[in-house]
C-alpha cells in the first residue's frame, strides 16, 4: 500500500491536492493511505502523490466543506475515511444527502466535533497583556489547549477581530503569531511563561457577581464549559467556592427580614414626582382618552388612536377602528384602507385637513396569527364603551354631516344595526340629530376578491363622498 505523507502545516490543501491526484489516477482506498509523520504500517511504501491531470474531476460542494473541517480532527484515520467517501462519491452521487449512511454520519460527527472545538477556542482563549498598555499597538499572548488541531483554521477569526493589536496564541502543536498586521504559524513552541494580568481579577469579580446563587445549575454550566478547559480560564478558579456557598447565600436572602426603606427614599421619590415630565399634565380630552381603560382592548393595543382634524369641521368621517399601522403610529387612516379613503377624498376634492377623521372604536382589536395581527370586528359592547369618546368629539367638532364608513360606524352613530347593503348612500338620523350618510368602509373594498368589483366599489365610495361634499356645501 502506498503511504502519502502530509505536512504539519497547511494539511487542508495538501490533503486535497493529494486526494485529487490519487483519485484521478484511479487509486482505490485499499491502495493508498494518508498520514502526517513517517509512522505507517509495516508494508507501507512512502510515496509522493501521483502526477496526473485531475482537471476533469468533480466533487460536490458539500463534500469540499466537510473535508475542510474534518482534516483538523485528531483521529488518525480521518484522511483515509475522507478518501473512502470521496471515492464512493464518484459512483454514488447522492451520498452526501444520505445522512443515515454510517461513513457519512461518522464524518459529519467529526465535522461537528471540529466546529465545536473551533467555537470553544473562539470563546475560551484568554489573552494576557505582554506589552505596554499605552503603546500605539498593544501586545497580548495566550496559551490554549484545543481538543483538535484547530489553531490554523481558527486564526482568521482572531485576525479579523483583533486586527489593531499584536497577539500570539500558543497551543501544544501549532502557534499563531500576528505581528504588524501579518499572520504566520510556527510548530512545537514551548508553553510561554505569561505574567498574571491585573484584569483577570476584575474579570473574576464580574464572573462572581453576575452569578445568581438562587439558581444553581451546575450541569448546565459544565455541559457547555467542560472542566478540561478550566485550567486556562482565570475565572474558573472561583467556581468551586461559588457552588459551595450558593445554598447558604440563597437561604440567607430568603430568611433576611425586610428592612425599612432608607431615609433618602421618600425624598428622592417626592422630588421625582414633582419634576416629572414623563407624567405629563393629566388633564384635557386627549390625556383622558389616552388613558382610557373602559374596555379590555387597551391592554392589547399599543395606544389610543385619537381622531384628527380641525377643532370645528363641517364634515366628519367615522371609520370602524384603527388597523395595524395606525396602532403603531398613533394616527388614524394612514394604513392601506386609509390610503383608499385618501385617494377617494382627493378625487372628489375633499381636503383632508378640513375634515375631521376618527374611528368608532379607538383601540385596535386583533388576533395574532404567526407574526401578523389580524383585524377583528369590535363587539357591540366595545363600541358602546367607546361611544363616550365619539360623542365628545361630535360635541366639540359640531359637524353638519357625518359620514359613517361601514356597519360599525353606522351602528355607533345611529344606534341601529343592520347590513350596509340596504342603507348605503342614504342619510339617516344620528342619535343626537346630526345627519349620518352611510357608505362602504374602504377596508371592505380592499377585501373584495376581484379588481372589477373593487373598482366599482371605489366608484361608489367616491360618489358618496361627493354627495357628502355637496350636502355640507348647502
Partner 1 sequence: MAQKSINEKLAILSDAAKYDASCASSGSTKRDSSDGRGLGSNTGSGICHSYAPDGRCISLLKILMTNFCIYDCVYCVNRVSSNVERARFSVDEVVKLTIDFYRRNYIEGLFLSSGIIRSPDKTMEDMVRIARKLREEENFRGYIHLKTIPDAAPELIAEAGRLADRLSINVELPTDQAVKEYAPEKSPDQIRKAMADVKLRQIASKDRSHTGKRPPKFAPAGQSTQVIIGADGANDATILGQSTRLYGSYGLKRVYYSAFSPIPDASSRLPLVSPPLQREHRLYQADWLLRFYDFQLHEITDTALGGNLDLDIDPKLAWALAHREGFPVDVNSASREMLLRVPGFGVKTVNRIIATRRHRTLRYEDIARLGASLKKARVFITAKGWTPGGLTDSADLRGLFAPPPEQLSLF
Question: What whole-number distance in Å separates Cα of residue 24 and Cα of residue 258?
Answer: 79
Question: What whole-number distance in Å separates Cα of residue 81 and Cα of residue 75?
Answer: 10
DSSP symbol at 224: H
* Closest separation in Å from C-beta 257 to partner 1: 9
Tell me the H-state helices in 302-405: 324-329, 336-348, 380-397
What grid cell was written down for 421?
347593503
Choice from 4, 69, 129, 340 touching partner 1 (CB under 8 A):
129
Choice from 17, 31, 75, 98 touching partner 1 (CB under 8 A):
98
* Closest separation in Å from C-beta 29 to partner 1: 22
302 binds partner 1 (CB under 8 A): yes
Show the site string, 398-427: x = touches partner 1 by CB under 8 A, - = not.
------------------------------
User: What CA–CA distances, in Å, run from 71 to 77, 82, 163, 194?
Assistant: 10, 8, 27, 31
Residue 375, SS3 per DSSP: strand
* Closest separation in Å from C-beta 289 to partner 1: 12
Ranges within 180-199 binding partner 1 (CB under 8 A): 181, 197, 199
Residue 365, SS3 per DSSP: coil
* Nearby residues of 294 by Cβ (< 8 Å), 6 or more positions away: 385, 386, 388
Output 42 or 182, the one with its CB closest to partner 1.
182
Residue 185, SS3 per DSSP: strand
Choice from 134, 277, 311, 452 touching partner 1 (CB under 8 A):
277
What grid cell was written down for 467?
354627495
138 binds partner 1 (CB under 8 A): yes
> Using alpha carbons only, how large is the chain's radius of gyration in Å?
38
298 binds partner 1 (CB under 8 A): yes
Burial of residue 155 (CB within 10 Å: 0-12, 13-18, 19+) is buried
Output 186 or 265, the one with its CB closest to partner 1.
265
274 binds partner 1 (CB under 8 A): no
Ranges within 200-259 binding partner 1 (CB under 8 A): 201-203, 205-221, 224-225, 233, 235, 239, 242-243, 246, 250, 253-254, 256, 258-259
Task: Check if the beta carbon of residue 50 is closer than 8 Å to that of residue 22.
Answer: yes
Ranges within 323-342 binding partner 1 (CB under 8 A): 327-330
263 binds partner 1 (CB under 8 A): no
291 binds partner 1 (CB under 8 A): yes
Ranges within 335-374 binding partner 1 (CB under 8 A): 368-373
Question: What whole-number distance in Å separates Cα of residue 237 and Cα of residue 241?
Answer: 8
H or E segment to which residue 175 belongs:
strand 174-179
Show the site string, 160-179: x = touches partner 1 by CB under 8 A, - = not.
xxxxxx--------------
Ranges within 24-83 binding partner 1 (CB under 8 A): none
Output 187 or 214, the one with its CB closest to partner 1.
214
H or E segment to which residue 205 belongs:
helix 199-210
Say what angle helices 61-70 and 102-124 make with each other, to 10 degrees.
60
Show the site string, 142-161: x = touches partner 1 by CB under 8 A, - = not.
x--------------x-xxx
User: What CA–CA distances, in Å, run from 118 to 122, 128, 174, 222?
Assistant: 6, 20, 14, 18
Question: What whole-number distance in Å separates Cα of residue 167 and Cα of residue 138?
Answer: 8
What grid cell was written down for 366?
386583533
Total of chain residues touching partner 1, rule CB under 8 A: 93
Ranges within 380-399 binding partner 1 (CB under 8 A): none
Output 61 or 160, the one with its CB closest to partner 1.
160
Q: Point out which span in 21-29, 91-99, 145-153, 354-362 binds partner 1 (CB under 8 A).
A: 91-99
Output 212 or 346, the one with its CB closest to partner 1.
212
470 binds partner 1 (CB under 8 A): no
Amino acid at each position: 500500500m502506498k503511504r502519502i505523507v502530509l505536512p504539519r502545516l497547511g494539511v487542508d490543501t495538501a490533503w486535497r491536492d493529494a486526494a485529487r491526484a490519487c483519485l484521478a489516477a484511479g487509486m482505490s482506498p485499499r491502495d493508498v493511505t494518508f498520514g502526517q509523520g513517517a509512522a505507517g504500517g509495516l508494508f507501507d511504501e512512502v510515496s509522493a502523490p501521483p502526477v496526473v491531470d485531475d482537471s476533469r474531476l468533480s466533487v460536490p460542494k458539500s463534500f469540499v466543506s466537510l473535508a475542510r473541517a474534518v482534516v483538523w480532527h485528531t483521529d488518525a484515520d480521518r484522511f483515509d475515511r475522507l478518501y473512502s467517501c470521496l471515492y464512493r462519491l464518484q459512483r454514488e452521487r447522492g451520498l452526501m444527502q444520505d445522512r443515515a449512511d454510517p461513513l457519512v454520519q461518522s464524518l459529519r460527527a467529526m465535522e461537528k466535533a471540529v466546529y465545536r472545538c473551533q467555537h470553544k477556542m473562539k470563546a475560551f482563549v484568554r489573552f494576557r497583556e505582554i506589552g505596554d498598555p499605552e503603546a500605539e499597538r498593544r501586545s497580548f499572548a495566550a496559551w490554549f489547549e484545543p481538543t483538535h488541531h484547530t489553531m490554523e483554521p481558527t486564526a482568521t477569526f482572531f485576525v479579523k477581530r483583533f486586527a489593531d493589536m499584536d497577539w500570539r496564541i500558543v497551543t501544544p502543536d501549532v502557534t499563531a503569531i500576528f505581528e504588524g498586521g501579518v499572520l504566520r504559524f510556527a510548530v512545537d513552541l514551548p508553553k510561554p511563561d505569561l505574567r498574571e494580568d491585573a484584569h483577570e481579577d476584575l474579570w473574576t469579580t464580574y464572573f462572581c457577581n453576575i452569578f445568581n446563587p438562587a439558581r444553581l445549575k451546575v450541569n448546565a454550566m459544565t455541559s457547555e464549559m467542560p472542566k478540561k478547559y478550566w485550567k486556562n480560564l482565570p475565572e474558573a478558579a472561583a467556581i468551586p467556592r461559588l457552588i459551595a456557598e450558593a445554598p447558604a447565600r440563597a437561604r440567607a436572602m430568603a430568611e433576611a427580614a425586610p428592612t425599612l426603606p432608607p431615609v433618602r427614599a421618600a425624598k428622592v421619590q417626592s422630588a421625582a414626582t414633582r419634576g416629572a415630565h414623563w407624567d405629563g399634565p393629566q388633564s384635557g380630552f386627549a390625556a383622558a382618552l389616552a388613558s382610557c381603560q373602559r374596555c379590555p382592548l387597551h391592554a392589547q393595543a399599543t395606544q389610543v388612536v385619537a381622531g384628527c382634524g380641525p377643532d370645528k369641521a363641517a364634515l366628519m368621517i367615522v371609520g370602524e377602528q384603527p388597523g395595524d399601522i395606525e396602532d403603531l403610529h398613533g394616527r388614524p387612516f394612514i394604513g392601506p384602507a386609509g390610503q383608499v379613503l385618501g385617494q377617494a377624498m382627493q378625487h372628489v376634492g375633499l381636503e383632508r385637513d378640513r375634515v375631521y377623521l376618527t374611528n368608532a372604536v379607538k383601540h385596535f382589536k386583533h388576533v395574532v396569527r404567526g407574526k401578523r395581527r389580524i383585524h377583528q370586528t369590535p363587539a357591540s359592547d366595545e363600541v358602546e364603551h367607546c361611544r363616550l369618546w365619539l360623542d365628545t368629539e361630535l360635541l366639540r367638532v359640531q359637524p353638519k354631516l357625518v359620514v359613517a364608513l361601514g356597519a360599525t360606524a353606522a351602528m355607533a352613530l345611529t344606534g341601529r344595526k343592520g347590513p350596509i347593503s340596504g342603507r348605503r348612500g342614504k342619510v339617516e338620523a344620528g342619535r343626537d340629530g346630526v345627519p349620518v350618510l352611510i357608505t362602504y368602509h374602504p377596508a371592505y373594498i380592499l377585501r373584495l376578491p376581484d379588481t372589477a368589483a373593487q373598482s366599482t366599489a371605489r366608484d361608489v365610495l367616491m360618489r358618496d363622498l361627493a354627495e357628502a361634499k355637496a350636502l355640507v356645501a348647502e
